[in-house]
């Protein structure tokens, strides 16, 4: 099988039950080496704070070690959650990384907190009040530093010339899962990475990005769309579904406000079966009540987020379909599984399926 699609990785550094954050970070370095050897295009690390499931609060700290441990693959943030930071500090940090690893560093930026409100507040330097919601202003300031186009009368104008990695600069991306992010990316002529694993109804948003991009008539710039998709590949569909159970349980608990490390598949399968039985019993009772009271059926259950889970043949086809739906020229595979060797194998099979 072969495809013109670029294939990349988003690693959230999952912590397996009974393991540690330190081991999860070592697993991230190991997986990055493997993906470099396999031919993946880029390797992004995420930013999440204050929980027992993911060990990646500082992509800026992970990027350097990953880039040093690899030789070819692009390495970057997926992403830096800009509201937590000074734009100048982010510009300095990623300029430094770009200077050390020329042509290989990405700076993908997001607006979300990557955590709960209390942890967001703990991350603030000034805690006298909540931080302002000024992401567009932060983003404009950061890009002005990186592009050395700060207005001459700006009080920080001289700082743009002091970035340590010049003339190198990171490749800038905007992350998103909503219409507003698409509009900002189009206005600023930035490549756009859409989080389908958060919002699988994003094809219209990706089209909006391209339409708005054309309206701005940017000189020497064209829209670029990547789509990040929940992807687990195994030798068989059944094995892939078994591996996927761990993430399903962890995120179900997260939605309930109960934070856990990634459970073993067997634990997760038993938990999910019990949940399914409980929902079935509850639905049967509600359905009977709805029919009795209203003379018609109850509302259908809420649909789940998209997951691409299965054998190489199944995953290959479904990812091509997702990319076509988004008009994307790059797919960024993201997953959480309990066993690191199974995670490695998933990316090996995916690379082989796409002929990397």
The whole-angstrom separation of Cα 78 and Cα 80 is: 7
Report the chain's C-alpha Rg in angstroms. Answer: 22
Domain 6-299+307-353 -> CATH class? alpha beta
State pTM to two decimals: 0.91
User: Each residue of 180-234: pLDDT tens digit?
Assistant: 999 999 999 999 999 999 999 999 999 999 999 999 989 889 999 999 999 999 9
Of 2-6, 123-127, 296-300, which gets the smallest average pLDDT? 296-300
User: Each residue of 233-267: pLDDT tens digit?
Assistant: 999 999 999 999 999 999 999 999 999 999 999 99
The whole-angstrom separation of Cα 256 and Cα 249 is: 11
Confidence of residue 12 (pLDDT cuts 50, 70, 90): very high
At residue 195, what are phi and psi to the nearest 5 degrees?
-90, 80
- Residue whose token pair is 């859409």: 194
What does the pLDDT average to over 53-71?
97
């Amino acid at each position: 099988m072969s495809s013109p699609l670029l294939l990349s990785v988003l690693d959230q550094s999952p912590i397996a039950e009974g393991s540690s954050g330190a081991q999860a970070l070592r697993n991230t370095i190991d997986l990055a080496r493997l993906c470099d050897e396999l031919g993946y295009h880029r390797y992004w690390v995420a930013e999440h704070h204050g929980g027992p499931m993911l060990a990646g609060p500082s992509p800026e700290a992970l990027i350097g070690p990953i880039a040093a441990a690899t030789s070819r693959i692009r390495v970057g943030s997926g992403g830096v959650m800009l509201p937590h930071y000074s734009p100048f500090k982010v510009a300095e940090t990623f300029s430094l990384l770009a200077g050390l690893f020329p042509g290989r560093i990405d700076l993908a930026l997001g607006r979300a907190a990557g955590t709960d409100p209390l942890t967001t507040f703990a991350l603030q330097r000034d805690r006298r009040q909540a931080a302002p919601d000024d992401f567009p202003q932060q983003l404009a300031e950061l890009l002005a530093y990186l592009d050395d186009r700060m207005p001459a009368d700006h009080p920080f104008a001289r700082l743009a010339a002091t970035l340590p990695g010049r003339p190198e600069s990171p490749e800038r991306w905007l992350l998103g899962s909503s219409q507003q992010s698409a509009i900002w990316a189009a206005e600023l002529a930035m490549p756009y990475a859409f989080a389908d694993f958060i919002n699988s109804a994003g094809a219209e948003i990706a089209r909006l990005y391209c339409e708005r991009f054309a309206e701005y008539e940017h000189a020497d710039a064209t829209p670029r769309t990547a789509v990040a998709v929940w992807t687990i590949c195994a030798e068989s569909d059944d094995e892939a579904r078994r591996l996927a159970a761990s993430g399903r349980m962890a995120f179900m608990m997260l939605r309930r406000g109960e934070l856990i490390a990634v459970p073993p598949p067997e634990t997760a399968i038993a938990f999910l079966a019990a949940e399914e039985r409980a929902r079935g019993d509850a639905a049967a009772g509600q359905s009977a009540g709805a029919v009795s009271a209203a003379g018609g059926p109850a509302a259908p259950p809420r649909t789940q987020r998209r997951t691409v889970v299965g054998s190489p043949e199944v995953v290959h086809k479904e990812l091509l379909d997702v990319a076509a739906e988004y008009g994307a020229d790059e797919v960024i595979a993201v997953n959480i599984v309990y066993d690191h060797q199974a995670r490695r194998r998933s990316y090996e099979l995916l690379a082989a399926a796409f002929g990397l």
